[in-house]
Structure 1
Amino acid sequence: MSSQELASLDQRWTAYQDLPELTNHWYWRPGWRADRQFYTWHLTFEQQPELHRLVNDLHQHLAIPGLDLVPLDGLHLTMQGLGFTDEIADVDVRAIVAEARRRCALLPPLELTLGPVDPDAEGVGLLVQPWDRVDRLRATLRAAIGAIWPAVPESSDGFRPHVTIAYSGSPAPTEPIRSQLANLRNRPPARATLNQVSLIALRRDNHTYRWTTVAAAPLNSI
């Protein structure tokens, strides 16, 4: 684990010890509503049995009031947003996808490890390593968007790769969760190899994120 990743993990764990209660993750962010979808590039984790075994194991210990467990088919790593689907022209989507495919084809598949548990006020995630490879892919996606649009949405700063396995569903006390997490921090991480990044239309559905895959940009497997 690099010094950057270790420092983040340690800082967040220390902060969590002083957190009295969770923050409800499911408040409506600006522009969001029940009938609206959002275009965003995500890494998704279908057909990743090692990760699924780890998450199933952790879920057995995190079925705690206040936490909404993320289903296996809802696991994701948020990479780069585009905007609400009702605000972006189809021609722009097609152009961005084509540019992303061209650029992502020059990158190798992502070989990642996920774990240990990494909590915050809005849920429990898994630390993703190494960050530099995910950062490179995100920069590639941003460059693809910037080749089509004069400005790239969202800031390039403050990106922290993580995969959430449980979201906070209410302002519940953290002490019972802290007690469980202390026993789970030494679980060995899971490995995952990802061969593409997906553009999805994301929606919220009963305290879960669901999506329709719009397109995929394969990573070079040669």
Structure 2
Amino acid sequence: MDPYADHAEMANHWWWRPGWKVGTRFYAWHITLDGQDELHQLIDQYQEALRPFPTLDPIPRKWRHITLQGLGHVEDVSDQQRDEAVQAVAERLAKLDAIESTFQRAVIFREAIALPPSNPEAYTHLRHEIRAGITDAWGWCPENSEGFRAHASAAYSNGSASAAHIRLALDATGSGASRVIVPAISLICMNRDRRTYQWKSVEHLRLVH
């Protein structure tokens, strides 16, 4: 089954996951998209096409990202544990090169409009190395290793809707491909208090060696 196949129906993304509420803070490894102007321009075009759909919340440029791996709720991770994980992940990433990808066609997930990379396996490998680093430090790794789909989201769904008209709007944009080079990842401290993901960066780790 194609992990990037369109869903026929969309659902609300903003339900509260276990352990989450207003005020929750969470450590996670993300690729932030600062300076990725080509990708931002492509997402902007898709967002313009999606403006007629009130069940879709466009993601502001500042908060666009590629999710990689959670580390844990801030209250559950001591500063020492966090720093040990960062050091171990850094040692793993020091052996990896930057990732170069193209992004083009938007797809419809159940809870988001997303753009897959041309080489999702490179991001899966990156996530594997992050998970291995956390395991080096802690002896175990949070979250399931399965079901990962590398993507940059353009909008989150805030309710139920059929995907058929959304698909037509996306296809009508005629958007071209955008090139992305990923030289680093970030450990962020994130929240979703305002129906969007916002964060402060804690650490940046470069992939280029």
Selected match of 1:62 from 27, 37, 50: 50
Match of 2:187 in 1: 199
Q: Give 3-state SS (helix, strand or coil) of 1:148's partner.
A: helix
Selected match of 2:146 from 157, 161, 179: 157
TM-score computed with the length of structure 2 as normaliser? 0.93
Q: Which moved further from structure 2: 115-124 or 186-195?
A: 186-195
Q: Give 3-state SS (helix, strand or coil) of 1:205's partner.
A: coil
TM-score computed with the length of structure 1 as normaliser? 0.88
Tell me the distance in 2 between the aligned counterparts of 1:129 and 1:174. 23
Which sections of structure 2, spanning at least 5 residues, go unmatched? none
Identity %: 33
Tell me the distance in 1 between the aligned counterparts of 2:28 and 2:21. 16
Tell me the distance in 2 between the aligned counterparts of 1:173 and 1:157. 27
Match of 2:126 in 1: 137
Matched, 1:220 2:202: no
- Give aligned pairs, total: 208
Q: How does 1:8-157 map to 2 (within 5 A)?
A: 8-9=3-4, 12-13=5-6, 15-16=7-8, 19=9, 22-63=10-51, 64-157=53-146
Tell me the distance in 2 between the aligned counterparts of 1:60 and 1:220. 35
Give how far 1:150 is off. 2.0
Tell me the distance in 2 between the aligned counterparts of 1:82 and 1:121. 24
Q: Give 3-state SS (helix, strand or coil) of 1:212's partner.
A: strand
Deviation string, structure 1 residues 150-178 (Cα, Å, up to 9, x no partner) = 21111111111111110001223434323
Q: Give 3-state SS (helix, strand or coil) of 2:47's partner.
A: helix
Tell me the distance in 1 between the aligned counterparts of 2:136 and 2:47. 41
- State the Cα RMSD in Å: 1.6
Give how far 1:182 is off. 3.1
Paired amino acid for 1:194: V
Tell me the distance in 2 between the aligned counterparts of 1:187 and 1:138. 29
Which sections of structure 1, spanning at least 5 residues, go unmatched? none
Paired amino acid for 1:169: N
